[in-house]
Structure 1
Amino acid sequence: MDNVKFTIVIPTRNRSETLKYCLMTCINQNYNNYEIIVSDNCSSDNTKEVVKSLNCNKIRYYKTKEVLPMTKNYQFALEKVKGEYVIYLGDDDGLHFHALDLLNEVINLVRVPVINWRLDHYEWPGYLLRNFENLIKISNVSSSTKSGFFSGKEKIKKVLKFEEKFNVLPMLYMNSAIKVDFIKQIEEKNVGIFDSCEPDVYSGLVTAYYVKEYFYLNFPVSIGGSSKNSTGMTQITALKENKITHEFNELNKKFGLEFKPTFYKITFSETSLVDDAIRYAFNKFLPQNDEFIVDYKALIVNLVNDVKQCCEYYYEETEAVFKEILEYIYETVKDKFSEEITLFFKNEILKKLKPLKKYDFDKRFLPHFDKDYLILDGNKFKVADIYGAAQISDMVLNFDERVNEYKGKLKKVTRCMNEISKYKNIGICGANCHGKILVKLLKNINDVEEHNIYFFDSDKNKWGTKIEQYTINNLELIKKMNIDKVVICSYTYQEEIYETLKDLIDDSRIMKLYERDEEFYFDILV
């Protein structure tokens, strides 16, 4: 297939029982121009037979000649990609059926190399935390974080300070579609997209650092699955090394990938995994300066919380282990950090630490809404896998109708931007979020240097101040300036502004974003 828009990459090893349903979500897309790569890391189960049984000509199956570390298998698959954009999924994850269709419309509008979104979640039957088994968490599209453009470097700073979790980063794993040419540009700097023991976290740091801005889509696209054999979930819930973590660690050692977080003996903490990826990033590309600083107090707080939570899963056997680990953390803090941080650990963490409490595996989480998710009990809908979770999500939230509404608004914004971008000298009337978004979209449709942009507002308190790098001017100045088209960036006051502008310039030079009584469609961005 030539000119493929999307490649979905699914690295897998000996997990055919979940891979089948992951693939089913991928081959049932409401879109056609894509391929699927299954990168089989030398499995000994029936992975190849499962792939073949689906009888889908979009799937290309590759098997490594030997067992590789996760990072190397990810890279092995990347070299086979033909698509313009690539998405990586775990073999227990899935896509919503509208995913590629919606992403295609978004890319046509925003034209950036990285599209990112918040994950939905599904906990497979057999998941370690059995009170979460078969729960489906679907993102609330009415949440406070709207779609829009984000600075990658600003996101990194928040992750380094542990103000936000690593999964807000635009990772080449589950939560982003990344342009392949952009990845190649990074690789030309002698920086690999997966070069650490944690390819998901590390790829998010790499992408965020090298992309100027990425687009965050506040709409469900993919479902992150957690199953009993998930490597990531096993890593952060297994107090002792097991078969999965043993193989993961030994393969990394064999291929020279050293696990080297600050507290290297603690391998079962999400914070340790993030710390390891951060240290690799500092070694490879991230400058060690005043711009990018790790908040080690916050790191230690998160680490202790991780350890405590994991110990509570195995309460009967871990009270002594917990004390032992705390002593190790204390000794490491004394050895590696300042007296201030040592005192912080003693006074703010150890002295205030509550005793271990046995985790209640029988406390079932009931279906409910919260500010971020709708949480459903898959058992009530006879769901047993991620394909079923995708089907129920589609049915309950009526995604067909919601996606069509969203796409309709995207197309209206796209038409507006294509019209505006025809002009050299552009006036933007309304120094607000509308105006900011217009400038960002213009940057991506055409080089912003191709346009002369002028902001105007009727509020005299704004005159002389700036929005982005542009000075806000008095509306009266419009009649003295050689402006090709003045765009009214207001929904509520559009007609009022239009009447004012008609007294200043010819009607043919004025552009409204909305027809009379038309719905507010820029709400997908502002």
Structure 2
Amino acid sequence: MTSTPPFYSFVIPTRDRHDVLGSAIQTILAQTRDNFELVVMDNHSTPETRQVVDAFASPRIRYVRAPERLSMLDNWEFALDHVKGDYVHYLGDDDGMFPDSVEVATHLHREFPGLPLGWQSVHYFWPDFIVPSHRGLGQMRVGRVVEVRDSRWALTEAYSGRLHQAELPTLVFSFVPRATIEQARKKYGRYFWFRAPDVSSAIVNAINSDAYLYSYRPLGINGASRHSNGASHMYAHINDKAFKKWLAEAKIASAEEPLDGRLTGGFITEVAIVDELFWLQNKFKSEIGDIPVDMRDFLKWIVQAAPRYFARFDEVVAAVETMAKRNGVDMREIQIPAKVPPPEKQDFTFGTDHRTGTVSYSYYTNTDHVRTVADFAEEASRHCVPVGQLIIQDRRSEATTTRAPTLGARLRSLLGR
């Protein structure tokens, strides 16, 4: 047990999003413990970004400005040269943290020093989100169990299509030891790879850690505003402005066709994630090894995206059928969802998972009072169990004997469907 609390570095990479940045900063400065710093990594923005930072006048904030406009990966990599913490976490400029995230992390890292700490996030859709039916929506998943997981088991489950990559120790949903990050940078020459830094960090951290913590009690909030690159890809048929801007700056001509020959339908976000995973598996083959890929479980997950792309529903199904044929998967094993128009309002959902003490539900916030991710963090934090009620389960001994349910089965269980 360490005699002094570990020190945490939050990093917010940002570029010309000063309208949401202040709220993300606010959630970090509201921490119940003071053993942290915040690095705002400004990717050569207009002066308003610096003005937002300076308005806080906080000694905990260090503002770093890129000398020129960088790609997302290079900007995220550049920020690593400026962190000082024992553990590092990156969050988007429209994301947020719960007030006790450092308190919870400190408690867990005193018992399990040196392990990455990942968590399931809750989701908040800003009032300006590109999909009208989601504006002001909160999607909660709050539990009390913290698992100690075997990293090799998690990698195997992820490449078998049974574990979402966000449940690996990705830097976006985890506090990752800076020693692990620096080990990877020394070994590979850099830390972030390919297109999506969240996915590449998940794989790099997993292959450079024997074990990690995964908390079903959330520590952070995945915010989605009109600026969100990921949402602009997921809902490109509604508004692809942010995604196209990202493609241009990453110097990617088109994402319509995946690089891996086993895949097709690059316009589907889930296919893009799997393409990323396959590229990384090849890049780090000597360390990942020949983990068998179960395309059936991946396709079961991918086809669930069809209703989201309602106007291209048949294209999604056709892409899944093509991939099934290429990979010898029987389409009779793939359940195609109903083709129904997206609702004007989202249904209330509720589900429970007794093993992890998780309750999942969605609701619309009162946008007269909840206008930003900071407002949502204050409200939603009251739904989370305090640190003293967490239950730790060491599941490493089960790694060779248990199978995680498929991504689709996990989603249906959590939503009570």
Normalized against structure 2, the TM-score is what? Answer: 0.82
Residue correspondence of structure 1 range 500-511 to structure 2 within 5 A:
none
- Whole-Å separation in 2 of the counterparts to 1:241 and 1:11: 23
Cross-structure match for 1:238: 236
- Whole-Å separation in 2 of the counterparts to 1:165 and 1:179: 21
Amino acid at match of 1:252: A
Which structure has greater helix proportion?
A: 1
Amino acid at match of 1:66: E
Amino acid at match of 1:90: G
Q: Give the counterpart of 1:123 among 117, 122, 125.
A: 125
Deviation at 1:329, TM superposition (A): 5.7
**Residues 1:84 and 1:253: Cα distance change in structure 2 (over 3 Å):** same
Deviation at 1:272, TM superposition (A): 1.7
Deviation at 1:124, TM superposition (A): 1.1
Superimposed CA distance per residue, residues 42-71 of structure 1 (whole angstroms, 9 cap, x where no aligned partner):
223621111111211211112223332221
Deviation at 1:326, TM superposition (A): 5.1
Cross-structure match for 1:43: 45
Cross-structure match for 1:461: none
Superimposed CA distance per residue, residues 307-353 of structure 1 (whole angstroms, 9 cap, x where no aligned partner):
x22321xxxxx3xx55456556655665xx35x33xx24x555xx74
2:360 equivalent to 1:358? no
2:96 equivalent to 1:114? no
Superimposed CA distance per residue, residues 222-242 of structure 1 (whole angstroms, 9 cap, x where no aligned partner):
111111221112111213883
Deviation at 1:249, TM superposition (A): 1.3
Residue correspondence of structure 1 range 206-355 to structure 2 within 5 A:
206-239=204-237, 242-253=240-251, 260-262=259-261, 266-287=265-286, 291-306=290-305, 308-312=306-310, 318=311, 321-323=312-314, 327=318, 337=326, 340-341=328-329, 344-345=330-331, 348=333, 353=336
- Whole-Å separation in 2 of the counterparts to 1:377 and 1:330: 36
- Whole-Å separation in 2 of the counterparts to 1:333 and 1:117: 32
- Whole-Å separation in 1 of the counterparts to 2:52 and 2:262: 41
**Residues 1:214 and 1:378: Cα distance change in structure 2 (over 3 Å):** same
Deviation at 1:283, TM superposition (A): 2.5
Task: Please tell me whether Structure 1 or Structure 2 has the larger radius of gyration of its CA atoms.
Answer: 1
Contact 1:112 / 1:215 at 8 angstroms: preserved in 2?
Answer: no
**Residues 1:140 and 1:233: Cα distance change in structure 2 (over 3 Å):** same
Amino acid at match of 1:169: L
Superimposed CA distance per residue, residues 174-212 of structure 1 (whole angstroms, 9 cap, x where no aligned partner):
x21011111111222216432120111121111112210
**Residues 1:359 and 1:48: Cα distance change in structure 2 (over 3 Å):** same
Q: Give the counterpart of 1:397 among 383, 389, 394.
A: 383
Deviation at 1:114, TM superposition (A): 0.8
Cross-structure match for 2:137: 135
- Whole-Å separation in 2 of the counterparts to 1:180 and 1:333: 41
Q: Secondary structure at the match of 1:195?
A: coil
- Whole-Å separation in 2 of the counterparts to 1:205 and 1:382: 39
Contact 2:12 / 2:40 at 8 angstroms: preserved in 1?
Answer: yes
Cross-structure match for 2:153: 154
Deviation at 1:244, TM superposition (A): 1.2
Aligned length: 389
Contact 1:197 / 1:259 at 8 angstroms: preserved in 2?
Answer: no
- Whole-Å separation in 2 of the counterparts to 1:147 and 1:289: 25
**Residues 1:286 and 1:467: Cα distance change in structure 2 (over 3 Å):** closer
**Residues 1:59 and 1:262: Cα distance change in structure 2 (over 3 Å):** farther
- Whole-Å separation in 1 of the counterparts to 2:252 and 2:130: 29
- Whole-Å separation in 1 of the counterparts to 2:246 and 2:45: 14
- Whole-Å separation in 2 of the counterparts to 1:280 and 1:191: 17
Amino acid at match of 2:383: L
Residue correspondence of structure 1 range 55-134 to structure 2 within 5 A:
55-134=57-136
Q: What percent of counterpart residues are identical?
A: 23
Amino acid at match of 1:218: Y
- Whole-Å separation in 1 of the counterparts to 2:183 and 2:48: 37
**Residues 1:55 and 1:291: Cα distance change in structure 2 (over 3 Å):** same
**Residues 1:67 and 1:289: Cα distance change in structure 2 (over 3 Å):** closer
**Residues 1:288 and 1:59: Cα distance change in structure 2 (over 3 Å):** closer
**Residues 1:364 and 1:332: Cα distance change in structure 2 (over 3 Å):** closer
Amino acid at match of 2:292: I
Residue correspondence of structure 1 range 453-492 to structure 2 within 5 A:
none
CA RMSD of aligned residues (A): 3.3
**Residues 1:242 and 1:130: Cα distance change in structure 2 (over 3 Å):** closer
Contact 2:230 / 2:243 at 8 angstroms: preserved in 1?
Answer: no
Superimposed CA distance per residue, residues 471-521 of structure 1 (whole angstroms, 9 cap, x where no aligned partner):
xxxxxxxxxxxxxxxxxxxxxxxxxxxxxxxxxxxxxxxxxxxxxxxxxxx
**Structure showing greater relative contact order (alpha-carbon pairs closer than 8 Å, 6 or more residues apart):** 2
Amino acid at match of 1:397: H
Deviation at 1:89, TM superposition (A): 0.6
Q: Secondary structure at the match of 2:130?
A: coil
Deviation at 1:355, TM superposition (A): 6.2
Deviation at 1:35, TM superposition (A): 0.9
Deviation at 1:123, TM superposition (A): 1.4
Q: Secondary structure at the match of 1:7?
A: strand
Deviation at 1:140, TM superposition (A): 2.6
- Whole-Å separation in 1 of the counterparts to 2:55 and 2:65: 17
**Residues 1:61 and 1:132: Cα distance change in structure 2 (over 3 Å):** same
Cross-structure match for 2:375: 388
Deviation at 1:276, TM superposition (A): 2.2
Amino acid at match of 1:148: E
- Whole-Å separation in 1 of the counterparts to 2:304 and 2:72: 27
Contact 1:235 / 1:267 at 8 angstroms: preserved in 2?
Answer: no
- Whole-Å separation in 1 of the counterparts to 2:58 and 2:288: 50
Contact 1:238 / 1:310 at 8 angstroms: preserved in 2?
Answer: no
Contact 2:264 / 2:271 at 8 angstroms: preserved in 1?
Answer: no
Contact 2:117 / 2:212 at 8 angstroms: preserved in 1?
Answer: yes
**Residues 1:44 and 1:4: Cα distance change in structure 2 (over 3 Å):** farther
